[in-house]
Chains A and B, each alone.
Chain A
């Protein structure tokens, strides 16, 4: 998933000029007019990969990292910050290989920073591919630019060499990073999604989080009477927070199959009854939202919630950390699952969307791929994961790594919700990464639906039309998922 926690979209003039420059300079082998073109040069730099970094493979060094080989790590510096890398993982790597130099690059524009480097063949060894401007990983994989992470998951765990890394992570983690059936993406952060509210305010006013959409509407009326906006999301740059909720409700009604079918671009997936009912129910809730929220960005809406002007807000478990500086003492974050659509829903009310998120990738044509794998193995150790949770305030996919850590109210609420959900987990959506065009269209249509410009039926029809056109587009590599 693309967690753009704290990813404002303002751009500076310089970045804009650089982007324009890149577009203008999108170069190709112009029939021999010039040899220095953007599309050439990728092949020549592609060869010196594993051969250069062949070192003795041992239980402690399962990938055969050359001890003094330099490592370049590119971290998306968004809501999670980058101190988890500079203060935890990179020092741990240097502790293992004291002779190696680690180059740290922090950026908010992953694609703008790295796309030219991929085209030129000079790629880093490890990438946190996140944010609004993340790189299209389906496209990268299709061009053989990503390293297959199977050796990572089959390697022995740092904490217990008798266990493989794949047995130390939350079930579903590896599956969430599959492209064309192979794990190319390490989704590292454990994220729970739902409706967030101020538990202190709700307690004080005697409000309880709704379990059905009928209760939801009744509660919205009550909250509106109290002078608050009952429910809101940021239409300007975070419409996807809302479409997650629509998809969750559809999945609760029909089961995860509907999300799998949407990911697989199955015919008529968007026009199914479950999606229609969910869209219609959420459009009703949208009527409680002031029109102005379509023009606000996520931090503006989140700040209004911290000021107790907005009661319920859809988001994921990074929210508490992102708002840390703005949260007053009278505000304590808590999360509740999305309400049930009908009494006959396939999944109970307690079901939540929980997913391994924050994609990390290793370029296949990097100079130190073994180092990249080792770096990932360090991240998946208990020490690495615990340090990550401490620095970033987010849980990781490493089982039991947060044990003994004092958790904040919001994080504890996520952990409780996860326990209550048990096996009833709404699955993630892969189309968000696979088919960015479909994702962009969904944002557009979600705003249209929630702010009352189209009906639920039109929403479904428009989305189905876009899904069909993506399916028919031969330049887009199609993906498939079965779990």
Chain B
């Protein structure tokens, strides 16, 4: 960068250059780190997906799109994609619904007291409790729910059920129709706390007089929630939706720890990250695993782009 070269034109340039120099110097380091640790592995994964690399040789053989054509006939791959579809539809919906309900109760559910909206009694305590699952490591949650979902009478849930008269223990993770829902239950349980906090922050940013005006006009809690709160925190919900959607493309750790034979029974719970891991580290098919990774990459960005587009709405200025 040449600075202070003299002359009128150069003087104007140097002001501009100085500004760009300032910006670039801040961006350069993170950009390089991002390229090295994020972009380049992606690019390399795209390349490996076109080879039959088995993970140990230095010279993978280029095989074109063979891995991708094989994906099309792979039942397990499609089972995993279907499960992501279900997770994508149900998991964000359930999580956001529960989180909104709790956040509303914690912030506005107590009604108007002394002119300001308050939460239900003990809301500060609940706020902390809801956040607990978020603090636990995934592995801890997995081990915890192994005990909770254990399929015989020694399981926590089955023990409770037998106390209230259900004799036959429920196979939470061994019933092929139930297993994925059981795992989704854990995902929701773990995520709700975070979104309660997120939505609470959104709600507390809404000016109190908006609620008061609505309340004066005779709006009940139901009306307050749907006509005032929801539109005003729409941006936050949208962000939450994208986060949860991306989380629905993961679920690796919980499926790996909780499910029968990693993804079973009969592929009932398998997800793409698990199949990628299995293809790479169990079958030594790194090329094929990378092809699945590329498929997952496109699924994820398609979802993110679509959901941002679909949920786009006029911003309400306050």
Contact of B283 among A16, A42, A136, A239 (CB under 8 A): A136
| A296 beta carbon closer than 8 Å to chain B | yes
Chain A residues within 8 Å of B288, by CB: 475
Chain B residues within 8 Å of A23, by CB: 273, 276-277, 280, 289, 293
B151 A295 Cβ-Cβ under 8 A = yes
| B278 beta carbon closer than 8 Å to chain A | yes
A43 B58 Cβ-Cβ under 8 A = yes
CB of B64, distance to nearest CB on chain A (Å): 12
**Assembly CA distance A375 to B293 (angstroms):** 41
Using A236-B260, A437-B283 as known contacts, say yes or no to A143 and B54 having CB atoms under 8 A apart.
yes
Chain B residues touching A, range: 35 or more
Extra contacts, 9 of them, besides A24-B41, A29-B47 (Cβ < 8 A), are: A9-B257, A19-B277, A26-B44, A27-B40, A28-B44, A28-B45, A291-B171, A292-B151, A475-B54
A294 B151 Cβ-Cβ under 8 A = yes
Contact of B176 among A139, A239, A453 (CB under 8 A): A453
A41 B58 Cβ-Cβ under 8 A = yes
B171 A440 Cβ-Cβ under 8 A = no
Complex: chain B residue closest to A477, CB-CB = B54
A16 B253 Cβ-Cβ under 8 A = yes
* 9 tightest A-B CB contacts, nearest first: A42-B58, A295-B151, A292-B152, A292-B151, A139-B284, A475-B52, A136-B284, A295-B174, A13-B139
| B72 beta carbon closer than 8 Å to chain A | no
**Assembly CA distance A143 to B284 (angstroms):** 12
A119 B56 Cβ-Cβ under 8 A = yes
CB of B155, distance to nearest CB on chain A (Å): 9
| A346 beta carbon closer than 8 Å to chain B | no
CB-contacts of A13-45 with B (<8 A): 13, 16, 19-20, 22-31, 33-34, 37-43
State the A residues within 8 Å of B (CB): 9-13, 16, 19-20, 22-31, 33-34, 37-43, 111-112, 115, 118-119, 133, 135-136, 139-140, 142-143, 145, 235-237, 239, 290-292, 294-296, 436-437, 440, 443-444, 447-448, 451, 453, 473-475
**Assembly CA distance A140 to B54 (angstroms):** 9
Chain A residues within 8 Å of B65, by CB: none
Chain A residues within 8 Å of B57, by CB: 39, 42, 143
**Assembly CA distance A112 to B282 (angstroms):** 10
A16 B260 Cβ-Cβ under 8 A = no
Complex: chain B residue closest to A132, CB-CB = B282
| B209 beta carbon closer than 8 Å to chain A | no
| B298 beta carbon closer than 8 Å to chain A | no
Using A10-B143, A115-B56 as known contacts, say yes or no to A295 and B261 having CB atoms under 8 A apart.
no
Q: How many inter-chain residue pairs (CB < 8 Å) link A and B? A: 183
Chain B 118-154 interface mask (CB, 8 Å, partner A; 1/0):
0000000000000000000111101100000111100
Tell which of B41, B257, B262 has the most Cβ of chain A within 10 Å: B41
**Assembly CA distance A59 to B59 (angstroms):** 40
A295 B44 Cβ-Cβ under 8 A = no
**Assembly CA distance A133 to B283 (angstroms):** 11
| B84 beta carbon closer than 8 Å to chain A | no
Chain A residues within 8 Å of B172, by CB: 295
CB-contacts of B266-292 with A (<8 A): 266-267, 273, 276-278, 280-290
| B110 beta carbon closer than 8 Å to chain A | no
CB of A447, distance to nearest CB on chain B (Å): 6
Chain A residues within 8 Å of B202, by CB: none
A-B contact pairs, 10 of them (CB 8 A): A10-B142, A20-B277, A28-B60, A139-B284, A290-B152, A292-B171, A436-B284, A444-B261, A444-B266, A444-B267
B41 A25 Cβ-Cβ under 8 A = yes
Contact of B290 among A16, A26, A34, A474 (CB under 8 A): A26
**Assembly CA distance A143 to B36 (angstroms):** 28
A115 B53 Cβ-Cβ under 8 A = no
| B48 beta carbon closer than 8 Å to chain A | yes
Tell which of B47, B56, B149 has the most Cβ of chain A within 10 Å: B56
CB-contacts of B227-285 with A (<8 A): 252-253, 256-257, 260-262, 264-267, 273, 276-278, 280-285
**Assembly CA distance A326 to B92 (angstroms):** 44
CB of B29, distance to nearest CB on chain A (Å): 17
CB of A446, distance to nearest CB on chain B (Å): 9
CB of B72, distance to nearest CB on chain A (Å): 13
Chain A residues within 8 Å of B137, by CB: 12-13
Complex: chain B residue closest to A291, CB-CB = B171
**Assembly CA distance A474 to B60 (angstroms):** 14
A118 B171 Cβ-Cβ under 8 A = no
Tell which of B40, B58, B171 has the most Cβ of chain A within 10 Å: B58
Using A23-B280, A26-B48 as known contacts, say yes or no to A115 and B253 having CB atoms under 8 A apart.
no
CB of A160, distance to nearest CB on chain B (Å): 38
CB-contacts of B7-42 with A (<8 A): 36, 40-41
B266 A292 Cβ-Cβ under 8 A = no
Complex: chain A residue closest to B140, CB-CB = A13
Tell which of B36, B52, B54 has the most Cβ of chain A within 10 Å: B54
| B173 beta carbon closer than 8 Å to chain A | yes
Chain B residues within 8 Å of A39, by CB: 48, 53, 57-60
A118 B138 Cβ-Cβ under 8 A = no
A11 B253 Cβ-Cβ under 8 A = yes
**Assembly CA distance A118 to B55 (angstroms):** 9
Using A10-B142, A475-B54 as known contacts, say yes or no to A31 and B47 having CB atoms under 8 A apart.
yes
| B51 beta carbon closer than 8 Å to chain A | yes
Complex: chain A residue closest to B290, CB-CB = A26
**Assembly CA distance A37 to B56 (angstroms):** 13
Chain B residues within 8 Å of A25, by CB: 41
A16 B139 Cβ-Cβ under 8 A = yes
**Assembly CA distance A340 to B252 (angstroms):** 42
Complex: chain B residue closest to A145, CB-CB = B56
Using A19-B281, A290-B152 as known contacts, say yes or no to A119 and B55 having CB atoms under 8 A apart.
yes
**Assembly CA distance A133 to B281 (angstroms):** 8
B151 A291 Cβ-Cβ under 8 A = yes
A26 B174 Cβ-Cβ under 8 A = no
| B94 beta carbon closer than 8 Å to chain A | no
B266 A448 Cβ-Cβ under 8 A = yes
**Assembly CA distance A39 to B57 (angstroms):** 7
Chain B residues within 8 Å of A22, by CB: 280-281
| B111 beta carbon closer than 8 Å to chain A | no
Complex: chain B residue closest to A441, CB-CB = B76
Chain A residues within 8 Å of B253, by CB: 11, 13, 16
Contact of A16 among B60, B174, B252, B267 (CB under 8 A): B252
Complex: chain A residue closest to B286, CB-CB = A26
| B43 beta carbon closer than 8 Å to chain A | yes
Using A27-B44, A475-B287 as known contacts, say yes or no to A20 and B261 having CB atoms under 8 A apart.
no
Chain B residues within 8 Å of A119, by CB: 55-56, 58
